[in-house]
Amino acid sequence: MDRKYLICENVSVSDTGRLLFAGQDTCDLAQQYGTPLYLMDEDRIRNRCRIYLSAVKQAFGEKAKVLFASKAASFKRIYEIMNEEGLGIDVVSCGEINTVLKAEYPLRNAYFHSNNKTDADIAFAMDHGIGYFVVDNEEELLAIQAQAKERSIQQKILLRITPGIDPHTYAAVSTGKVDSKFGNAIETGMAEAITRLALAQDSIDLRGFHCHVGSQVFDSDVYLRAADVMLSFIADIKQKTGFTAKELDLGGGYGVRYVPTDPSIDIRENIIAVGKSIAEKCELLGIDIPVILFEPGRSIVADAGMTLYTVGSVKKIPGYKNYVSVDGGMTDNVRFAMYGSAYTVLPADRTDRPFDMECSVVGRCCESGDIIQNNVMLPADMKRGDILAVLTTGAYNYSMASNYNRIPRPPIVMLAQGESYVAVKRESFDDIVRLDV
């Protein structure tokens, strides 16, 4: 097999041509736990957390924070790991908050996002001691003020600001432009208006501002520009209202390698560059450097994940196309169906065979759009019973999984220090029917 397919350092091949993940034999793991199967390399996740934390501390000092954007992968064990690694977290729903609580992760270190928090959401989060709300709009701000007052607390918040930057990624994950369902644009005056409104509330403790320009971003200049715009806004607000923002959250979004042609980003180098630029800009504007936060999701967990499937059939339609059907599909990985996302697909066994068959790798759902990947090169002798691996599935795969066609979701097996253990059990048919009355 061409070594270019080994797109992350935790993917390798044994002497006997078997695909290894985190040093463990993927065929053995498939045999032991069954397929479809999500694997997660815990050592890799911890390593990414440490790189982020040490980079932000080097760039911005001890107070800087890294929040794991847990929409990328939300289950109890991940919050335990984040707690052990000293990361804050970003949550977007009470479902995520409840998982956080069950993991005994301290909710005071959590930031609650989302563009529409209901009154019940706000109450649930406050009653359990949420650290911060990242407030999206004026109605929400007033709802939080009312509930904070009722409880006689000062609620810490950040305001979500739209800096008006195009991150050059796919539309579904582009959030920093003025025309966005998220946040308050500086350009339209909405950002200033909501800041003034927040400052006028007696139960709101406005700590600073947040922005998130998009996801799967490779252009590092995007962060420099976002920081630049946000700091100018902070200086402007200070001059107009006297309010000094203590925190600036620059969001998440750093891209990861799904296929060999994707670049690889040096997170530390990038963050240090953002640090330098922020220091210079603050000096120029005559403002103190706020506490800086980053909110990565994908770049912490994506390449720590791999999905294993068993091939059910290899259909070669003469004059047309070849289809390799696997025992999972859009129910455990909807990203190709939703965004046309690229993935690297490899056989788990006998990787030394020539990859001489072009095919579509498809799922088992009753829908033609149930495709994991098109134009994949695989060995022509692939057959029923072979194991296939899809790389880089640690972000937004399990968290976006569904029960379409009443297909149970796969388990998550963690790989740590040469051992493996179940972090999320395989869903059963009875689990799926449990809520039916």
For binding to ligand LLP (CB under 6 A), which residues are involved?
69, 71-72, 90, 113, 173, 175, 212, 215-216, 251-253, 295-299, 335, 395-396
To ligand LLP, the closest distance from the beta carbon of 315 in angstroms equals 28
Single out the residue of 100, 226, 106 nearest to residue 166, CA to CA.
226
Q: Is residue 253 within 8 Å of residue 210, measured between CB atoms? A: no
Single out the residue of 90, 400, 414, 392 nearest to residue 256, CA to CA.
392
The token pair at 101 is: 């609580």
Single out the residue of 12, 75, 20, 8 nearest to residue 415, CA to CA.
20
Single out the residue of 338, 335, 357 nearest to residue 347, CA to CA.
357
> How many residues in the chain?
437
Residue 132 or 355: which CB sits closer to ligand LLP?
A: 132
- Other Cβ atoms less than 10 A from the Cβ of 261: the count is 9
To ligand LLP, the closest distance from the beta carbon of 175 in angstroms equals 6
To ligand LLP, the closest distance from the beta carbon of 145 in angstroms equals 22
To ligand LLP, the closest distance from the beta carbon of 380 in angstroms equals 31
Q: Which of 49, 282, 365, 366 is catalytic?
A: 366
Residue 18 or 212: which CB sits closer to ligand LLP?
A: 212
To ligand LLP, the closest distance from the beta carbon of 65 in angstroms equals 13
Residue 107 or 338: which CB sits closer to ligand LLP?
A: 338
What amino acid is encoded at 242 in this protein? G
To ligand LLP, the closest distance from the beta carbon of 326 in angstroms equals 19
Residue 175 or 420: which CB sits closer to ligand LLP?
A: 175
Single out the residue of 304, 279, 269, 286 nearest to residue 395, CA to CA.
304
Q: Spell 206-233 as b/e; 16+ CB within 10 A means b.
A: bbbbbbbbbbbbbbbebbbbbbbbbbbb
Strands (E), 77-151: 88-91, 110-112, 132-135
Check if 366 is active-site: yes
Cβ neighbours of residue 127 closer than 8 Å, sequence gap 6 or more: none
Residue 167 or 347: which CB sits closer to ligand LLP?
A: 167
Residue 36 or 305: which CB sits closer to ligand LLP?
A: 305
Can you tell me whether residue 335 is helix, strand or coil? helix
To ligand LLP, the closest distance from the beta carbon of 289 in angstroms equals 21
- Other Cβ atoms less than 10 A from the Cβ of 394: the count is 31
Cβ neighbours of residue 333 closer than 8 Å, sequence gap 6 or more: 307, 343, 363, 372, 390, 393, 397, 401
Cβ neighbours of residue 243 closer than 8 Å, sequence gap 6 or more: 195, 199, 206, 237
Q: Spell 95-119 as b/e; 16+ CB within 10 A means b.
A: ebbebbbebebebebbbbbbbebee
To ligand LLP, the closest distance from the beta carbon of 299 in angstroms equals 6
Helix (H) or strand (E) holding 257: none
What amino acid is encoded at 167 in this protein? P
Residue 267 or 387: which CB sits closer to ligand LLP?
A: 267
Give the residues across from 389 on adjacent strands.
308, 346
Residue 252 or 305: which CB sits closer to ligand LLP?
A: 252
Residues belonging to the active site: 366
